[in-house]
Structures are given as C-alpha cells and as structure tokens.
Amino acid sequence: ATVQRKIPEARFIMDLHDASFFLAPSRECHEEIGYVLNSIEYEGIWCNVNANIPLPFEGKFGLSFKDVK
C-alpha cells in the first residue's frame, strides 16, 4: 500500500515468500520503489513497536522473470 500511494504507476502483482513483485514502467520507477521500501518506518505500521531489525530491500529490474533470476 505504501508503494501504491507514493508511486501510482507501479503495480503490485504478487507476494511470494520473502519476495514482492511489481510491474514498473521504467528503471527509474524501479529505483523509486527501492527507495520507498527502504524508507518505511515500520514502528508506525507495527503499533509503535520498534523491533530494531533491519529490513533492507534489494531488487532486480528486467523485462521478464527470466531476466531477474
């Protein structure tokens, strides 16, 4: 939901285990998704609980799932 609010052109398509998949129209949009996901303040989402666990996002950009494996 955070990505959709900040980057409406990005489309979330699925969540599989520890991976989230988005359709991004450009590499710049992909980089913006990474910035947004790495900037989430989880304490506010998790009812003011500070788990103090780093949750870094790393992603790949490609024209197909084959390209990002």
pLDDT of residue 9: 94
Look at residue 47 in the predicted model and tell me its pLDDT.
84
Q: What angle do CA 40, 68, 45 make, to 5 degrees?
A: 15
Are 57 and 38 in contact, with CB atoms under 8 Å apart? yes
pLDDT score for 49: 83
In contact, 43 and 49? CB cutoff 8 Å: yes
pLDDT at 41: 82
At 41, list the tokens. 């303040």
Whole-prediction pTM: 0.74
The DSSP string of 22-51 is EE-SSHHHHHHHHHHHHT--HHHHTTT---
- What is the reported pLDDT for 17? 84
pLDDT along the chain (69 residues), means of 10: 90 87 89 89 81 82 80
